[in-house]
Each structure stands twice: as structure tokens, then as C-alpha cells.
């Protein structure tokens, strides 16, 4: 088995809460400088920069999980990743059909630009991207599963937008590949404080909104090679693959 550094929770400048320096090019440069092997692109309810980051990252040898950080009806934040472009597009269609359309107030929430590789602005998304979807966490999980994706409730130990803060508990029947901790969340504390399923994998990521945060928090994946299927196996502790928080 080989060890790979992964930061699976990174926002681009498309997220209104992210710094405008979080361009795809800058993200890849910082990820490389931080020694990361795997990155996850997780803009709020949007996948529009994921494939561009993947294209740029491939040229440097960094593997990109393409997806989004989705806000459910209960305002739980969940990470969803997909292996193929078609699945990613289908998931974006699902988001577009279910997101609550609140006009974005740029002076208050921030800008939401979609850019190209040369950093030309192609579009300013007019509605507030972090708004809740009209679908609950179970429906979201089922959609991700149908598209053969990876589903990870994010920062479960946070006082807002975590599954426990919003629901009070982790629903016993909910399927997931792993649970995410906040930037400085303690694995020991979470296992002691909350009731988790046996062999639940916990991961910790930077949730980067600024360049300097990329890779300062990461999880080590123990796998044979870097691929979507190997990452999913490691998250689910299959075939001796596993993850460890460092």
C-alpha cells in the first residue's frame, strides 16, 4: 500500500464566501506546493469549476475529485463526488432543479464568478449558491448513490450546518462513505461524543476558502494507486485500504 495526501474540501472563487484569489490555477499551484496528491473541489451547490480544476491538475500529476458541497433541506452540508463527467452534469441538473433561488446580493454575500483557464469571467451566477435545496438528506444520498458517487456529510462536529447540529443525531439508516470533521475537529472527541456506526471512516479536510488554507489540513489515504474506485474503497475500509487523520 502507498500513502497519499488528500484534501477533499476546497472551494473556488465561485463560492461567494471564498476569496477571489481561489482560481483554478492558483488552487492547483498551492496544492502542489503543499504536497497534496488528491484534491476535492466542493463549491456550494455548484460544479462549474470542478472539471477545469481537474484539467489543470492532471498536468501536474494531482488527482481531482469533482463534485460539490450541497446544502440539504435541513441545511446540512454534504460533499458529493463523481467519477465521470456525465454523472457530474446529471448531478448539477439535480441541484439546479432543487435549489432555492434567492437573488445574490454581491455587496453582502460576495461575488460568484465562473471563469475560464485564462481567468476571464464567463458568468456571474445571479442566485445565492449556498441556499438550501428543496430535498432532504436521504433523497440527496440516494441521488448520489444512483450516480455511483461518493457521499460524505461534512464537518459533522460544527455548531452549524453539520448533520448533528441540524438533526440532533446521525440517522441510523443513512448511507455514507465517510463522515467529515471540521478543520480542527478531534477524531477522539467525535468518537467519544457521538454514536457512530461501526467502522465509520472519519476524514478531516481544510475546507479551504483562502489559498493559504489548502493542504494545511489533510487526510492520508492508504491505497494501491490513485483512482476514484481506490479512494472509495479506502473510505469504506475495503480490501485493506483505509484512511487516517494526521
Q: Answer yes or no: are the C-beta atoms of 124 and 113 closer than 8 Å.
A: yes
User: Is the backbone of residue 181 left (phi > 0), alpha (psi -120 to 50) or beta?
Assistant: beta
Which of helix, strand or coil describes residue 209? coil
* pLDDT for 23: 99
Q: Which domains does the chain have, with CATH numbers?
A: 2-245 (3.20.20.140)
Q: 52-64: per-residue pLDDT in tens? A: 999 999 999 999 9
Q: Is the pLDDT of residue 149 over 80?
A: yes
Torsion of CA 112, 116, 119, 122, to 10 degrees: -50
Beta bridge partners of 181: 204
CA separation (Å) from 152 to 68, 141, 176, 203? Answer: 11, 9, 6, 9
| Closest alpha carbon to 211 in 86, 59, 30 | 30
Spatial separation of the C-alpha atoms in residues 211 and 22, rounded to whole Å:
6
Spatial separation of the C-alpha atoms in residues 47 and 217, rounded to whole Å:
22
Q: 161-171: per-residue pLDDT in tens? A: 999 999 999 99
What pLDDT band is residue 196 in, cutting at 50, 70 and 90?
confident
3-state secondary structure 136-199: CHHHHHHHHHHCCCEEEECCCCCCCCCHHHHHCCCCCCCCCCCEEECCCCCHHHHHHHCCCCCC
* pLDDT for 193: 84
* pLDDT for 191: 86
- 12 or 188: which leads in pLDDT: 12
Spatial separation of the C-alpha atoms in residues 74 and 87, rounded to whole Å:
24
| Closest alpha carbon to 5 in 54, 55, 33, 39 | 39
Q: Which helix (H) or strand (E) holds 115?
A: strand 113-115
* pLDDT for 216: 97
Q: Is the pLDDT of residue 195 over 80?
A: no
* pLDDT for 37: 99
What pLDDT band is residue 49 in, cutting at 50, 70 and 90?
very high
Q: Is the pLDDT of residue 112 over 80?
A: yes
* pLDDT for 201: 96
Average pLDDT in the 213-228 region? 98
**Residue where the block lists cell 480544476:** 53
* pLDDT for 63: 99
Average pLDDT in the 2-13 region? 99
Beta bridge partners of 213: none
Average pLDDT in the 192-216 region? 92
* Residue 245 CB burial class (10 angstroms; 0-12, 13-18, ≥19): middle
- % of the chain at pLDDT higher than 90: 92
What pLDDT band is residue 77 in, cutting at 50, 70 and 90?
very high
- Rounded to the nearest integer, the mean pLDDT of the chain is 97
Distance in Å from the first CA to the final CA of the chain: 17
What pLDDT band is residue 99 in, cutting at 50, 70 and 90?
very high
Q: Is the pLDDT of residue 198 over 80?
A: no
Amino acid at each position: 500500500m502507498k500513502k497519499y495526501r488528500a484534501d477533499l474540501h476546497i472551494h473556488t472563487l465561485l463560492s461567494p464566501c471564498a476569496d477571489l484569489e481561489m482560481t483554478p490555477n492558483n488552487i492547483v499551484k498551492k496544492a502542489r506546493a503543499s504536497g497534496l496528491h488528491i484534491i476535492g473541489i466542493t463549491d456550494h451547490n455548484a460544479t462549474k469549476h470542478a472539471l477545469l480544476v481537474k484539467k489543470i491538475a492532471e498536468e501536474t500529476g494531482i488527482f481531482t475529485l469533482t463534485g460539490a458541497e450541497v446544502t440539504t433541506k435541513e441545511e446540512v452540508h454534504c460533499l458529493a463526488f463523481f467519477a465521470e463527467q456525465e454523472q457530474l452534469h446529471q448531478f448539477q441538473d439535480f441541484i439546479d432543479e432543487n435549489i432555492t433561488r434567492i437573488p445574490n446580493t454581491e455587496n453582502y454575500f460576495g461575488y460568484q464568478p465562473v471563469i475560464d483557464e485564462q481567468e476571464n469571467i464567463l458568468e456571474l451566477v445571479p442566485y445565492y449558491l449556498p441556499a438550501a435545496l428543496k430535498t432532504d438528506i436521504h433523497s440527496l444520498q440516494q441521488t448520489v448513490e444512483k450516480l455511483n458517487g461518493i457521499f460524505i456529510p461534512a464537518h459533522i462536529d460544527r455548531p452549524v450546518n453539520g448533520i448533528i447540529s441540524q438533526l440532533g443525531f446521525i440517522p441510523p439508516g443513512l448511507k455514507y462513505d465517510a463522515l467529515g470533521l471540521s478543520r480542527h475537529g478531534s477524531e477522539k472527541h467525535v468518537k467519544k461524543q457521538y454514536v457512530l456506526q461501526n467502522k465509520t471512516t472519519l476524514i478531516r479536510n481544510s475546507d479551504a476558502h483562502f489559498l493559504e488554507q489548502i493542504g494545511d489540513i489533510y487526510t492520508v489515504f492508504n491505497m494501491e494507486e490513485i483512482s476514484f474506485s481506490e479512494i472509495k474503497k479506502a473510505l469504506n475500509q475495503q480490501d485493506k485500504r483505509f484512511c487516517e487523520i494526521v
